[in-house]
Amino acid sequence: MTLASTDANGAAFVEFERVQKSYDGETLVVKDLNLSVGKGEFLTMLGPSGSGKTTCLMMLAGFETATHGEIRLGGKEINNIPPHKRGIGMVFQNYALFPHMTVAENLAFPLEVRKIGKDEREKKVKRALDMVQMGAFGGRRPAQLSGGQQQRIALARALVFEPELVLMDEPLGALDKQLREHMQFEITNLAHQLGITTVYVTHDQTEALTMSDRVAVFDDGVIQQLAPPDDLYEKPLNSFVAQFIGENNTLQGKVETISGNIANVRLDDGGLIDAVPVNVSEVGERTLVSIRPERVEINPDGLGPDAHTLDAEVLEFIYMGDVFRTRLKVAGRDDFIVKTRNRADQVRLKPGEQIKIGWLPEDCRALDA
């Protein structure tokens, strides 16, 4: 199956066709990858350590060689083209700025390599610095800048020669939370404004959901799901994606009946619930029922007659500012989480209280066990 996205002319800009990578000749860290990225798209490769996402990025950059398959850029095969001739901008977590050069000299370097004349170099450097709001810092050295400023310079250097493709490997990993969130917005805004195709690698789910047009979730060298952020979160295709993306409640059981788009699941504690069947197709099959914490209602009288309700015991009630996080004992499990918005009428629950919780069947998914 090819996971595709194309530009307005119907052509993919970045293509991986049946790409494999092995470091030892035996174990594949990337397995038969087919992936297309459209021109101007912001695609994030997300996954745990060792899932193959960074290896894919390094093969695209030219720092690793594919063991098998073809990588194309703008329709042209680039497997044997060295990194410096691919015309790709790169941003790393460690910034990789030259410490002995000024900021302006750092930005001018990729232009010098491309034999661009002095006057044109100066114009491009100024434009790139202004783009990241660092116009006044051209004469400083990297050591005189904060982490956030260095990251802006690294971004400007990747953009200065106006590449059509920029690759970013965990570029915000070293920044504090507030600056990180600010830079997420700046990077996506800049990429869309300039129409640059961006392939971004992170293990941070929030970052992936916030920044991307589409997210490719990797595990064990395979893309488990490729989708826009809202589809990925709301409609996970398997239990790995459901549990890796955001917080998720799971209850275990067996499929008792399947009728249309509803599976009737007998939970291990004997309870019976309805869920949308995904990756389950047979009666008697083991399943992991998935429900997001914010989709669960406490004392769910207003959900209507189709709502499914269960008894629960309050174990913890935690104030988190914008939300309350309640940990419950449900169907024999003591790790069931409900998130409710901080409202003036919120009743503060106490450990030991017996309550009812509920949700709509369409918010609940029966996934592979």
How high is the pLDDT of residue 73?
95
Helix, strand, coil percentages, rounded to 5, for the chain: 30, 35, 35
Length of the chain, please?
A: 369
How high is the pLDDT of residue 176?
83
* CATH for 247-299+306-368, options being 2.40.50.140, 3.20.20.140, 3.20.20.30, 3.40.50.150: 2.40.50.140
Q: What is the pLDDT of residues 254-295, one digit of tens each?
A: 999 998 888 999 998 888 889 999 988 888 889 999 999 999
Q: What is the pLDDT of residues 343-364, one digit of tens each?
A: 887 778 899 999 999 998 889 9
CATH code given to domain 12-239? 3.40.50.300
**CA–CA gap between residue 318 and residue 290 (Å, rounded):** 22
How high is the pLDDT of residue 10?
52
Paired sense of beta strands 42-46 and 197-202, if any: parallel
Residue 97's nearest CA partner among 161, 149, 172 is 149
What's the whole-model pTM score?
A: 0.88
How high is the pLDDT of residue 62?
94
How high is the pLDDT of residue 70?
97
Q: Which two tokens stand for residue 240?
A: 């790995």
Whether the CB-CB separation of 298 and 313 falls below 8 Å is answered with no
Q: In this structure, is the dihedral angle defined by the CA atoms of residues 161, 58, 91 and 8, taken in order, positive or negative?
A: positive
How high is the pLDDT of residue 354?
95
Q: Which two tokens stand for residue 168?
A: 């970013």
Residue 43's nearest CA partner among 181, 218, 178 is 218
Alpha helices for the chain (secondary structure H): 53-61, 103-113, 118-131, 147-159, 177-194, 205-211, 229-234, 239-244
**CA–CA gap between residue 301 and residue 235 (Å, rounded):** 26
**CA–CA gap between residue 128 and residue 324 (Å, rounded):** 43
Residue 128's nearest CA partner among 167, 89, 100 is 89
How high is the pLDDT of residue 307?
81
Alpha-carbon distance values, 272 to 174, 308, 310 (Å)? 46, 9, 10
Amino acid at 76: K
Q: pLDDT 10s digit of each residue in the chain, 369 long?
A: 446 555 444 578 999 999 999 999 889 999 999 999 999 999 999 999 999 999 999 999 999 999 999 999 999 999 999 998 898 998 887 778 889 999 999 999 989 888 889 899 999 999 999 888 888 899 999 999 988 888 889 888 888 888 899 999 988 887 788 888 888 988 898 899 889 999 999 999 999 999 999 999 999 999 999 999 999 999 999 999 999 998 899 999 999 999 888 899 999 888 888 999 998 888 888 999 999 999 999 888 777 777 888 899 999 999 999 999 999 999 888 999 999 998 887 778 899 999 999 998 889 999 988
Q: Which two tokens stand for residue 228?
A: 């826009």
Spell out the domain ranges in the chain: 12-239, 247-299+306-368
Alpha-carbon distance values, 285 to 36, 45, 235, 264 (Å)? 34, 31, 20, 11
Q: Which residues contact 339 (CB under 8 A, 6 or more apart)?
A: 247, 293, 294, 323, 324, 325, 326
Paired sense of beta strands 297-298 and 262-267, if any: unpaired
How high is the pLDDT of residue 92?
84
How high is the pLDDT of residue 5?
56
Amino acid at 329: K
12-239 against 247-299+306-368: fold identical: no
SS3 26: coil
Q: To 5 degrees, how large is the angle CA 352–CA 353–CA 356?
A: 130
